[in-house]
Chains A and B, each alone.
Chain A
Amino acid sequence: MKVFEKLFPIRKLLDKKTRSTLFILSFTLPILLWCAVSYLPFLWHPMVSITNTGDVSYFKKEMLVKRKVFEAENKRMQTKGLQQAQGYRSNPIYLPQPHAVVVSLVKSFTTPPRRRGNPWLHESLLHSIKIILLGFLISSIIGVPLGILCGTYSFFNSLTAPFIEYFRYLPAPVFGALAVAILGINDGPKIAIIVIGTFFQQVLVIANTTSKLNSSLIEAAQTLGASNLTILKTIIIPGTLPDIYKDMRILLGWAWTYLVVAEVIGTSTGITWFINQQAKYRNFEQVYAAIIIIGVIGLLSDQLLAYIGRKIFKEQAIQEI
């Protein structure tokens, strides 16, 4: 009972030690689960990896067969008096062991691509990041100012909101073919998909944030003799900037989710290409390695942006950033 009350206070922060323990657990628990499934042969392991083919004609060394098949074949061999196959229990190829993934995490940056001319892993990653950042930048150059205008002047809101509300329900991928026809098969259509996926949400989110600025700040400025445009420049923009910054972090996360769609349009590129390629060669350790790298990049960049935000907007004491 005491432990329960200590661990689950309503809407109160736990003490620092408990929080850091939970933080570590949130990563180690899934990893432990993965290790257990991988290294404890009595858990799951539905396949058998062949070490000695015996007299089974179609078995090969290192081949993975289902356990049922393996046992049936051995029974058949036994009744015929032939030599039985040998092997050890194993997981399917799509669930590599943690250490294999760690090894390939390191190796993936050091092994040259299978075919000459194909990009290395880091080149694929950089290409993906470039597509995201360009798409996000282009969207923001128009989306942020438009969002601020919509959140400030009903004129812009009434003019654009209905169309944007309509457009944002169209999934970005439906414009893939169109984008290729217009922009060719290189990076153009990929960036366009990110822009389309980000822009409409961005205008709505930022307009909403802008309109939430405490209106008594605006009224205070009015009584101090500030004109309409001055208020936009000196109150609305600086007043909403910390919240807009926070929105941009969330929007950037959404832009990532359009990456996979964008990268299979036209010629497949970037990290998506890399993952598909490795899956084709059945290098699943490499697939996991790439997925982990994407997650780490996402997490680190978000933490970095949060840190920068805290530094820039420290005087506004916005704790939640």
Chain B
Amino acid sequence: MSLKTPVTIFLLIAVAGLAAFPHFSDEFYLEFFTHLMVMGIFAMSLDLLIGYTGLVSFGHAAFFGLAGYLLAIVTPQDEAVALWLSLPVCLAGAALAALVIGWFSVRTSGIYFIMITLAFAQMLFYYFNENEALGGSDGIFIFSKPFVGFGDWQIIDLANPTTVYYFVLASLVVCYLLLTVMLRAPFGQVIQAIRANEHRTRALGYDTQRYKLVAFVIAGTMAGFAGYLEAVSTGIVSPGHLHWHNSGLVMMHVILGGMGTLYGPILGAFILGLLHDQVQEVTEHWHLVQGVFVIFVVLFLPRGIAGLVGRLFGRARDLDTEETRVADDDEHKVGAEPNGERTK
């Protein structure tokens, strides 16, 4: 990723802004922004499926909620569980669920893929919703935050909202960079080819089913990571985390934010979340406003909010050298061009 590209500059400014934010913010907004960043990770993971592989999953909340519940399950009543222990367990649980659900789902496509992912997620929702041992429809509290440290020496205090904020911010950046690297590696080239033309991708010698399954597992694991962070920061997990409303919400973040870019879904999570927060204060009719917003974006910003950012920040592109041609609104969607040039 070249520092010359305008979008990168935009992202660096955004990260700097987020890093400075706790100095100006009250506790409410600190926790709210933590939540928005978590949703950003969640949305990014879904975009790996929708925007890059072409798999429209409508059950992505399953992994988000499952990892949260796993944390609640492995956390003892009045004792903290080590992060080194609980995080791998929760991620493995989400990955396993994604492997099973994905194994069935990637055999289908289009509307059937949407339905089967939705069905699996709703099954998990009802399981947790009816499970009284896990709080049923009320959900379950996690009283002690995971412990980060060795022995008695605590490195990071996840009970402190500011610390959690920075922990989540760092996670967001790491997830972004991991996905960026992956999308430029051979694997990323293949999944983008699948989205463009799966038939030809298979004919060229790629076992597209396998690549789709692996993408599904990676996305599910990352969604689980987001769910883990949500559970850590809020201290509560409820069946709502797995509900199709949540799957739909994150899908809205991806689509409004801009499919096929990694920062678009994060922007989507922030803008929709902030809009919700602001509108809530003046009117009860949030869903009406949301509807109008969705219609506006779909009609006037076909490439989502990210497309707008790309246009604003990428204006100087044409005058620039070839390298800056990447400076588009979706710099990661390089297709198969390994040195970053792309189709315009």
Same assembly: no
Chain B positions near chain A (C-beta within 8 angstroms): none
Chain A positions near chain B (C-beta within 8 angstroms): none
